[in-house]
Structure 1
Amino acid sequence: MTQMQENAPYEVLNTMRSEAIALAAQGLTYSTQSAGVKNIAYVINGINFYCDATDVKEVSVCENLMVVPQTKAWMRGLINSKGVLYSVTDLSLFAGYGRAIQAKKGHLLLLADDAVQSSLLVNRVIGFRYFNDSDQMSDLEEKQEVLDGLSAFVDKGFRTDGQDWFRLDVRALLASEQFREVQ
C-alpha cells in the first residue's frame, strides 16, 4: 500500500472537518447520510426480526414482572420502568410459536408509543441493523408458515449473509384488535 493510499481516509476526514468549520462560520451545519434506516434487530424463537429504531424507546431486562390474572397467555404482565407501567407481551406466545420466552433471560423493547405504554418480550436483542434495498425479499408468501401469527404484521423482509430478517410493523401491531384484546 502506498503512502497516499494509507493517508486517503485521513484526508477525507480532514476535508470534511474543514467543510464543517466553514459551514459553521456561516451559521450552517454539516450532516452526513447514514447507510440506511436504523433498525433494532432481535430474535424470537430463532427467527430474526427487526423494527424501526424510532418505534423503541428503550431496551431493558424483564425484572419484577407483575402477573395480571385472567389475561391471555401472551400478556405476561406489567413492569414498572422509571415510574411508568408497561404491559409485557410475549411475542413468541402472541405469534403462536407455543413456547414462552423465559422472562428473566429475555429482553424487553419498551415501545415509544406513549398512548399504549407497551413492551415486547423477545429472546434476545442483537442491536442496530441496516439493510440494503438490493437484499429485500420480493415475496413473503412462502415465509407465512415461519411467521405464523406475526405474518399479518410483517410487511418487509431481507435476506442477507444467509439469514432472513423480517420487519415487524409495530404500529400495525399496536393498532390491531388482536393485540388490544388481552382478556
Structure 2
Amino acid sequence: MTRTQQDPFELLRKMQQESLENAPGLPQEIEATKLWSGVGFRIGDMMLVTPLDHVLEILPPPPATLVPGVKSWLKGVANVRGNLITIVDLPEYFGKPPVFLDEKARMLIMNVPGLNAGVLVNEVLGLRHFDEELERQDLSGLDDPVVVQLNGAFLRDNVLWGVFDMKSLAESDSFRHVAA
C-alpha cells in the first residue's frame, strides 16, 4: 500500500474551499429604525418631551423660600444637595394655571451651564422613545404659547408630543428677567 504524497498548501486550499462551500450564510442585515429618546412630561393638557441632555435630575418639588419682588411664576429658591436652585412654575410661566403640588408634580433641574434652575411640571411621564421618521416639524396649527420653545414634535398613538427646548427657554429674555 503506497501513499500518495500531497502538497500541504494544496491540501490547505482544498480544506478552505470545502469550508467556504459548506459554511452557513451570514444573517441578513436589517436596518433598525433610529429612535430619538427624551424625558416626557405634561404641562396642563400638553404632552412634551425634552432631550435627555437638557435635564440633570427629576425630583419632587422641594420646599422653597420665597423671593420678594419677582414675577408670580418664580416660586422661590431651594437648596438641592448644596446647590441653590431657582424654581420656576413652567405652566404659569406660559400663562396656564400653576402646578398643583400633588404626588404627580415634579421638578426638572435644567442642564444649562451657568444657570441653576428647576422647572415645575404637572407630571413626568418617564422616558419616551420615538421613531425619528415620525417626526413632524409643522406646528403652525398649534395655538399655544409653549410653541415658541418647541423644536418640532412627534406623533404617536394620535398624541402630539412637542419637543421642548430647555436651552432655548433658558436663553430667552422673558425667562431671565424675573423682576416684577
Q: TM-score, normalised by structure 1?
A: 0.75
- Corresponding position of 1:39: 38
The answer on whether the counterparts of 2:109 and 2:118 sit within 8 Å (CA) in structure 1 is yes
Moved over 4 A (4+): none
Report deviation, 1:54.
0.8
- Corresponding position of 2:78: 79
Structure 2 letter corresponding to 1:42 = F
- Corresponding position of 2:129: 130
The answer on whether the counterparts of 1:50 and 1:168 sit within 8 Å (CA) in structure 2 is yes
What count of residue pairs does the alignment treat as equivalent?
A: 148
The answer on whether the counterparts of 1:66 and 1:79 sit within 8 Å (CA) in structure 2 is yes
Kindly provide the CA deviation profile for residues 144-166 of structure 1, in whole angstroms up to 9, marking residues without a partner as x. Answer: x1x32x22111111110111100
- Is residue 180 from structure 1 mapped to residue 176 from structure 2 by the alignment? yes
Q: Give the Cα–Cα distance (whole angstroms) in 2 for the partners of residues 128 and 76 of structure 1.
A: 26
Q: 2:165 aligns with which of 153, 160, 169?
A: 169
- Corresponding position of 1:101: 99
Distance 1:82 1:114, change over 3 A: farther
* Structure 2 counterparts to residues 56-67 of structure 1, below 5 A: 56-67=55-66
- Is residue 111 from structure 1 mapped to residue 110 from structure 2 by the alignment? yes
The answer on whether the counterparts of 1:62 and 1:79 sit within 8 Å (CA) in structure 2 is no
Identity of aligned residues (%): 22
RMSD: 1.8
Q: Give the Cα–Cα distance (whole angstroms) in 2 for the partners of residues 74 and 45 of structure 1.
A: 15
The answer on whether the counterparts of 1:76 and 1:89 sit within 8 Å (CA) in structure 2 is yes
- Corresponding position of 1:24: none
The answer on whether the counterparts of 1:63 and 1:104 sit within 8 Å (CA) in structure 2 is no
Q: Give the Cα–Cα distance (whole angstroms) in 1 for the partners of residues 134 and 36 of structure 2.
A: 14
Q: TM-score, normalised by structure 2?
A: 0.77
Kindly provide the CA deviation profile for residues 15-55 of structure 1, in whole angstroms up to 9, marking residues without a partner as x. Answer: xxxxxxxxxxxxxxxxxx99523200000012100101111
Report deviation, 1:103.
3.2
